[in-house]
A and B are shown apart, each in its own frame.
Chain A
């Protein structure tokens, strides 16, 4: 009786904090899926660019580069990241038309450059990056709910609901769905492929910044933290099937909870190995994602 009670006492906080970090993985995964759905490219520079953005916010607000207020720093970093997204798309788009594989390799090289620039400007040291969060903490059913948790939940829900509303109801969103379903037919119908691609790349970059900003308070900010955070996002996207937005959302939360349970009950040292196993198992059990519709292929 008391053993079961203790397990329950352990498991609720684990599920709760898993849900919180899972929302952040979902934000990262949504960005990857947006780009993959519309342009058939896996953007391997996603994590590195988001990491660069987090460092830019640190640099703009701490006085390393500039001394701005926090919101101005965030705004400038978002502008910088959108500029990077446009530039990346301008470089990758012509290659994309010819070979998805080469375009994917090109995003890797962009990621290398982003990583190198971060190292050059900010060095390899760990820096603290604080968020102006409401100081708040409450206890509910044995859970400790902090201001950070609620902020993350609120921002993630607002962003994701907003994104889904845009995709479901606006013209741009309809064009996005049309292009991801059948790019050739969509172009024949007069849709502008380029503007929809740019929409996807921009939204993805902004989602990456939001995810990076919110994940940083749980760890420190170093050159590698955000890039490793993105492995979880990749795992979430694979779990969701890589071309389904709801799949990415559910995958992200599932990964967050699974990771938490694994680090608590098994081992905190093998997190990447665990993710590898999750990815491999997911590929075997749900090869097309959790929400896969079954269908045949035509030869």
Chain B
């Protein structure tokens, strides 16, 4: 009895979900041309902020992918972002290589770091991963500062080589992150359709069934961390490219938490509009509140809490409202 009610509810919610996905696809279809044409109309400071926003959106996607496919929360993704950013910056200052070569290097470095990092906690529940990512995020700034012959210490490094020579660097700082964001969103949507993606979701939601089908949970944990680390490294590389500099203050423990805030605010969504909401939240709120910095953590914490509570109580509230509507 109760089972059938449960499945009915689930079917209804999955119908809602399908409707939502369809509407998001329409929104995404409308957003892309707008974003492509936007630099023709707005001032340079806005294209700069939007470039940074796209880079942050990719970082938000990395955290959301980990939550969605791995069921784990990370508060250390600034580490992987820093790996990507410093790969790009160091390859440019040391070897003079442009983004077209350093971006793949950054991606590989991010994936490898993700795998290396998830390996020790592969058999354990998610809290261990969360705690060790916290240590990771706290360790990163001191590593960067102390390895100053390579990383430039507190002062950081500059990233100024254009990807395509001959086109204005300001425009590239807008379009390259946008293209990267679109590619990451596309790849994630392909992942959802693929065998691998489904195996990962099965390992997350029905671990015993996944074992029976031959998907090892340890493999699932390690591989999703690799994927997520790779995406975060792309985000860091894009952030370095869009903001033209890297410095240890951008990759602290707090920036990791902010990435998680962005992911929560976008309801862990992996679509383009959701990612943009998360990225915009991370980029634009500090700009608006730049005069009163202490309000930022309070506001982020409150918004995060409100979104979590809305996600928790929302279905109950809507079902109450729905029933009232039926009675009338």
Contacts and interface: CB of A to CB of B under 8 A. Distances in A.
A11 interface: no
Interface string A108-151: 11111111110110011000000000000000000000000000
Contacts of A228: 138
Contacts of B308: 95, 102, 105-106, 109
Nearest to B299: A116
Nearest to B127: A42
Interface residues of B, number: 46
SS class, residues of chain B in contact with chain A: helix
Contacts of A117: 298
Contact of B128 (A100, A271, A283): A283
Nearest to A284: B120
Contacts, number: 135
Contacts of B299: 116
A182 interface: no
A112 B131 contact: no
B312 A231 contact: no
Nearest to B117: A280
Given A113-B301, A242-B127, A276 B208 contact: no
Nearest to B312: A95
Contact of A112 (B72, B127, B300, B311): B300
Nearest to A36: B127
B142 A109 contact: no
B20 interface: no
Interface in B271-328: 293-302, 304-305, 308-309, 311-313
Contacts of B304: 105-106, 108-109, 112
Nearest to A231: B138
Interface in A163-219: none
Contacts of A116: 294-301
Contacts of B211: 299
A275 B140 CA distance: 12
23 contacts: A42-B130, A44-B75, A95-B308, A98-B312, A101-B73, A102-B312, A105-B260, A106-B308, A109-B301, A109-B304, A112-B298, A113-B302, A120-B294, A270-B142, A270-B146, A271-B142, A272-B135, A275-B135, A276-B132, A279-B135, A280-B132, A283-B120, A283-B132
